[in-house]
Structure 1
Amino acid sequence: MSESVPVRCPACRSEHHYEAPVYPCACGAPVAPRLDPAGTAVPVTQRAWDDEWVTVNCAACGRESEWPRPELGCPCGTVLRVPLASTTAPEPKRPPAPRRAFQPVTIRTARDAVTAAAVYLRWLGYRDIRRADQRPTSGIGLAAHGLLAQIDPTVDPASRRDVECLWLTAMTESTHCAYFSLAGYTPDARSRADSLGVPLFVLDLTGTPQPVNSQADTLDATGAG
Structure 2
Amino acid sequence: MAESVLVSCPACGRKHGYTAPTFPCACGTPLSPPVQPDGRGVEIRHRTWADCWVRLRCPDCGRTDDWPQPEFDCVCGALVRLPVAGEAADEAGPPVPSRPVAPEPAGQAPPPPTPRPPFHPVTIRTARDALTAAAQYLKWLGFAGVRLAGDRTASGIDLRGDGLVAQVDPTTQSTPVREVECLWLNCAHEDATGAFFSLAGYAHDARLRADQLGVPLFVLDLTGTPQPVNDAADELIRSGPVVNL
Indicate the TM-score class for this superposition, using the shorter chain for normalisation: 0.5 to 0.7
**Partner residue, 2:102:** 63
**Partner residue, 1:92:** 109
User: Which consecutive unaligned segments of at least 5 residues does structure 2 have?
Assistant: 1-100
**Is residue 175 from structure 1 mapped to residue 214 from structure 2 by the alignment?**
no
Shift of 1:220: 2.2
Shift of 1:124: 0.2
**1:1-225 maps to which residues of 2 (within 5 A)?**
63-64=102-103, 89=106, 92-132=109-149, 135=152, 141-224=158-241
Q: CA RMSD in A?
A: 2.3
| Distance in 1 between residues matched to 2:127 and 2:150, nearest whole Å | 19
| Distance in 1 between residues matched to 2:237 and 2:154, nearest whole Å | 25
SS in structure 2 opposite 1:105? coil
Identity across the alignment (%): 58
Question: CA separation of 1:99/1:136 partners in 2, compared to 1, >3 Å: closer, same or farther?
Answer: farther
Normalising by structure 2, report the TM-score: 0.54
The superposition leaves residues 108-143 of structure 1 with CA deviations (integer Å, 9 ceiling, x where unpaired) of: 000000000011001000110112256258986100
SS in structure 1 opposite 2:201? coil
Normalising by structure 1, report the TM-score: 0.58
| Distance in 1 between residues matched to 2:215 and 2:122, nearest whole Å | 24
Q: Which runs of 4+ in 1 moved over 4 A?
A: 136-140
Shift of 1:170: 1.3
| Distance in 2 between residues matched to 1:168 and 1:91, nearest whole Å | 42
User: Which consecutive unaligned segments of at least 5 residues does structure 1 have?
Assistant: 1-61, 66-87
Shift of 1:147: 1.1
Number of residue equivalences: 142
Q: Is the 8 A contact 1:148 1:176 kept in 2?
A: yes
SS in structure 2 opposite 1:202? strand
| Structure with greater Cα Rg | 1
Q: Is the 8 A contact 1:179 1:201 kept in 2?
A: yes
